[in-house]
């Protein structure tokens, strides 16, 4: 079998994530302790005990999710499960966890970057997002163009799975696009509880601020190719990765194309490593028939060791 490791993004967080890892895995405990020391506050306690509103805040959720994925990787290795995947990928924020898995970023460097990324994204305070269910890509792209106005764009931000797309942009443009989508037969158009228009042109200031931090961060070439959110193609050099992480903030997450590219490259087994089961559900709809494994706690690691994956 040919493995890909995939890592979830913001929205997968939940109070209690990582608690069992901290209690039972020395390697995972070291990751959470390192996260607390690196960021200068008790991120681990926020993961384990909440409160939920504080954990959900963008500037906290992003490092919390990364720390949990990194702790799971450490616990997997400690337990004796350490195959080399053919490819790694992450959904939006999850791309940083993929870069940790690929050896491009150390855990402390990744934590500092995603903390800064979350702060910059949260500080934007403009725009809106909505999930559009039951409409294909091309009609939605067309109606986003129709709903956009000069200085007030709306675009597809997340190509999550067939029939599940997310739009992002100026609030009025998002409202117009939702109305048009319903008129064209979308099953649902659901406003999302977010603080800004992520993965849209409105995030340009956040991307510029993040570019400074990325320019100063230490990065290595990837030991395993990382499938880009922006292009859905594998990248590996530190220079490519720096460009990717800046461009990603204002560009759509091409998850459908990324999964299809991994399948075309021979991947037949996807291992989701992190809180929740969001990517497992998306991949099931994108590539029916592939093998799916979800690793979100210590019990999942034990089950994995008992399987043949």
Do 32 and 68 meet the contact criterion of CB atoms below 8 Å apart?
no
Residue 199 a catalytic site member: yes
Residue 200 a catalytic site member: no
Do 99 and 226 meet the contact criterion of CB atoms below 8 Å apart?
yes
Dist. CA 222–CA 14, nearest whole Å: 29
Angle 298-300-305 (CA atoms, 0-180°, nearest 5)?
100
Catalytic residue among 44, 106, 199, 258: 199
Per-position b or e across 147-171, b if 16+ CB within 10 A of its CB:
bbeeebbbbbbbbbbeebbbbbbbb
Do 63 and 118 meet the contact criterion of CB atoms below 8 Å apart?
yes
Catalytic residue among 12, 25, 69, 92: 92
Q: Minimal CA–CA distance to 102: which of 11, 246, 4, 211?
A: 4
Dist. CA 201–CA 157, nearest whole Å: 10
Q: Report CA torsion sign: 249, 207, 67, 110.
A: positive
Q: Minimal CA–CA distance to 304: which of 276, 278, 255, 270?
A: 270
Do 205 and 117 meet the contact criterion of CB atoms below 8 Å apart?
no
Known catalytic residues? 92, 199
């Amino acid at each position: 079998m040919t493995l890909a490791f995939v890592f979830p993004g913001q929205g997968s967080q939940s109070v209690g994530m990582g608690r069992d890892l901290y209690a039972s895995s020395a390697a995972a405990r070291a990751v959470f302790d390192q996260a607390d020391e690196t960021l200068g506050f008790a991120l681990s306690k926020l993961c384990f005990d909440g409160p939920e509103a504080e954990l959900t805040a963008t500037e906290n959720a992003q490092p919390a999710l990364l720390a949990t994925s990194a702790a799971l990787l450490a616990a997997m290795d400690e337990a004796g499960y350490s195959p080399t995947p053919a490819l790694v990928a992450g959904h939006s924020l999850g791309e940083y966890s993929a870069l940790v898995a690929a050896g491009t970023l150390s855990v402390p460097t990744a934590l500092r970057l995603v903390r800064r990324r979350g702060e910059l994204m949260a500080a934007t305070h403009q725009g809106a997002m909505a999930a559009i269910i039951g409409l294909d890509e091309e009609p939605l792209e067309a109606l986003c163009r129709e709903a956009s106005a000069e200085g007030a764009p709306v675009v597809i931000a997340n190509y999550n799975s067939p029939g599940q797309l997310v739009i992002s942009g100026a609030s009025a443009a998002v409202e117009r696009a939702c109305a048009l989508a319903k008129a064209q037969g979308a099953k649902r158009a659901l406003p999302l509880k977010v603080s800004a228009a992520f993965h849209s042109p409105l995030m340009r200031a956040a991307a510029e601020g993040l570019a400074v931090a990325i320019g100063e961060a230490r990065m290595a070439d990837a030991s395993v190719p990382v499938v880009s959110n922006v292009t859905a193609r594998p990248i590996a050099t530190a220079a490519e990765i720096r460009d990717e992480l800046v461009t990603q903030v204002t560009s759509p997450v091409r998850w459908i194309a990324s999964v299809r590219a991994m399948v075309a490259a021979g991947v037949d087994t996807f291992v989701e490593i992190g809180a929740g089961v969001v990517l497992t559900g998306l991949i099931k709809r994108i590539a029916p028939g592939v093998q799916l494994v979800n690793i979100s706690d210590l019990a999942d690691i034990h089950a994995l060791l008992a399987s043949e994956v």
